[in-house]
Amino acid sequence: MINFGFWVSLRRLYTEDIAIYREIRNSYAFRMGSRQCDLKTSEDVQKLLADKDSSIFEINHRGSQKGICALSDINHVHQRAEFSIFIQDHVRRLGVAEMALKTLFCHGFRNLNLNVIHGETFDNNNAAHRLFDKVGMVRRPGIEQAYYKDGVWVDSHIIFMTKKMFLERDYCHNEQR
């Protein structure tokens, strides 16, 4: 369990957690907000959970699961990784994503010694952009027509935080609730 004193903790999912991960990944809410597609077979899910270059976490608060977040394509040579986050529909706007991202960054920069954590969003994902602005990430226009989603081409945004920016923000202090 990863807990840096914020009021959520992250539990790493392993191959025995296939059912949990598959249900979230294939949910309508996840697929709508995400660049990723549904995972058809248990083998697809198992491959992701067994991937040595990724860590997928369940976000927990007071014993119940609120969503998932992940670090993927972890590259120890360049000390970088891509992040993603999804919060269940019924617990949005309660600050869960903010706490989970801060915890994920503490883990990535302190435990894994990463130098940069980056991600990509749809151009029209205002909720995510405001969240990433709030936690102090940099956001830049990405690739035009990067994804074909629901019958239209969607541009992307690139988001990142460096270790230097992370240390300046001094995240790893207690924010209990």
Ligand X SMILES: CC(C)(COP(=O)(O)OP(=O)(O)OC[C@H]1O[C@@H](n2cnc3c(N)ncnc32)[C@H](O)[C@@H]1OP(=O)(O)O)[C@@H](O)C(=O)NCCC(=O)NCCS
In the structure encoding, which two tokens stand for residue 135, read together? 């936690």
- Site for ligand X, residues 34 to 63, rule: CB under 6 A: 34
Q: Counting contacts by CB under 6 A, is residue 95 touching ligand X?
A: yes
Least separation, in Å, of the C-beta of 76 and ligand X?
22
Residue 42 or 94 with smaller CB distance to ligand X:
94
Is position 121 an interface residue for ligand X (rule: CB under 6 A)?
A: yes
- Residue 104 tokens read as 């994920």
List residues bridging with 57 in a β-sheet. Answer: 12, 69
Rule CB under 6 A: choose which of 39, 125, 142, 155 binds ligand X.
125
Site stretch for ligand X (CB under 6 A), options 8-16, 36-44, 79-87, 108-116: 79-87
Q: Which is nearer to ligand X, 41 or 176 (CB)?
A: 176
86 binds ligand X (CB under 6 A): yes
CB of 133 to ligand X, least distance (A): 7
**Sequence-ordered list of residues with C-beta below 8 angstroms from that of 1, at least 6 positions apart, any chain:** 9, 10, 11, 60
**Tokens in use for 71?**
């670090």
What DSSP string describes 72-120?
EEEETTTTEEEEEEEE-GGGTTSSHHHHHHHHHHHIIIIIS--SEEEEE
- Binds ligand X by CB under 6 A, chosen from 9, 119, 123, 166: 119
Kindly calculate the radius of gyration of the chain based on its CA atoms and give it in whole angstroms. 16
* Residues lying near ligand X in the complex (CB under 6 A): 33-34, 84-87, 92-98, 119, 121, 125-128, 130-131, 134
